Homo-oligomer: A and B are copies of this chain.
């Protein structure tokens, strides 16, 4: 068989691992695909650096020439970011070359356009590595659960923030201290915003929501809140109430709409995601017939990401050998996106209050006046000053926000120190606005 010729755009950590994996597994891969896989062209910014590539690989800094080369059958995009990656992927698809990418930002931002281009060209566009690294989640949602109805996807989608929150939990430490240490150890970037402000997780949540609900979810439709505001006190209160604090990406279908959000969350300790610690990622799926499923593994790193990239390469290459392509991503439902103001969840609220007669009653009234009912109260304090912890029943985000505004103006409330959402057991119709 003629080899399948691969053009690689970008050759950093993941690219190098991909090249190594393709070489180490060459015989197995050829047997699985029905043809050998050969990297023929690699585009990098700096062509002078030695990357240990085979001698017959053409190294160039002209990425577009690789994306459209006549002697490239399949393009692997590992450049990252929106530009020029987007133009490169579009050019490859337009040239009828299947594309494998690990670029979550690109898929989240321009997925609709790229899917349409792939469908028009009749070629594959695969991106298993873009979400949760080595964990097979895109393919199971696309294929294995294609006959089921997914109602909810909840994921720990960012290893850096999970590492930071795990250390804050284990050590009782503050965010700033753990972040600084994580940066020193190389677990967090010098500019940590993509991770700690939830951008990375939001892009992945948008991609998962799109597949789970057959709907285009623009990544700016994802409600996003990072972990900078999480305090050691929040984590300690969570522990005492039976929760752990995790940064979750949550995509759900509610009354024919899709809601997608990323925020730090009180998660019950007996939830399957609660024990996913350190830099691990995990995705929990609820489907009507399948019930609860969980997928867990390494969410980042050269080798784990390359494992997912090569899995996609193998499937796309098999299709090339057979002159076919996999099914495109279906967008046949295209549900409207529900803004978070119209979502119902439980909330944890931490108040700094005067420990004086009537204060608790006034606070309870404030919740009640806004239609938010209280499930749990915990008060601690001394000498006229107290911390009041409240956990609400399910309430509309809009109502909770109005409650918080009113609490700020309630006599006896010194400060609303924290507000965090609580992920609770779902029940049929439990997310519905109609139950308000």
A140 within 8 A of B: yes
Closest B residue to A146 by beta carbon equals: B314
Nearest CB on B from A129, distance (A): 10
Give the complex CA separation of A177 and B342 in angstroms.
51
Residues from chain B with Cβ under 8 Å of A128 in the complex: 144
Chain A, 284-299, CB within 8 A of any chain B CB: 287-298
Closest B residue to A301 by beta carbon equals: B291
Given A140-B140, A145-B311, A324-B327 contact (CB < 8 Å): no
Q: Which of B29, B134, B291, B309 contacts A297 (CB 8 A)?
A: B291
Residues from chain B with Cβ under 8 Å of A214 in the complex: 28, 31-32
Given A293-B135, A303-B291, A315-B146 contact (CB < 8 Å): yes
How many identical chains are in the complex?
2
Residues from chain B with Cβ under 8 Å of A353 in the complex: none
Determine the interface band of chain A, counting residues with CB < 8 A from chain B: 35 or more
Residues from chain B with Cβ under 8 Å of A31 in the complex: 214, 330, 332-333
Residues from chain B with Cβ under 8 Å of A324 in the complex: 322, 324
B293 touches A136 (CB 8 A): yes
Nearest CB on B from A268, distance (A): 14
The interface of chain A, by Cβ under 8 A from chain B, is 17, 21-22, 24-25, 28-29, 31-32, 34, 128, 134-136, 139-140, 143-149, 214, 272, 275, 287-298, 301, 303-304, 306-315, 318, 322, 324, 327, 330, 332-333
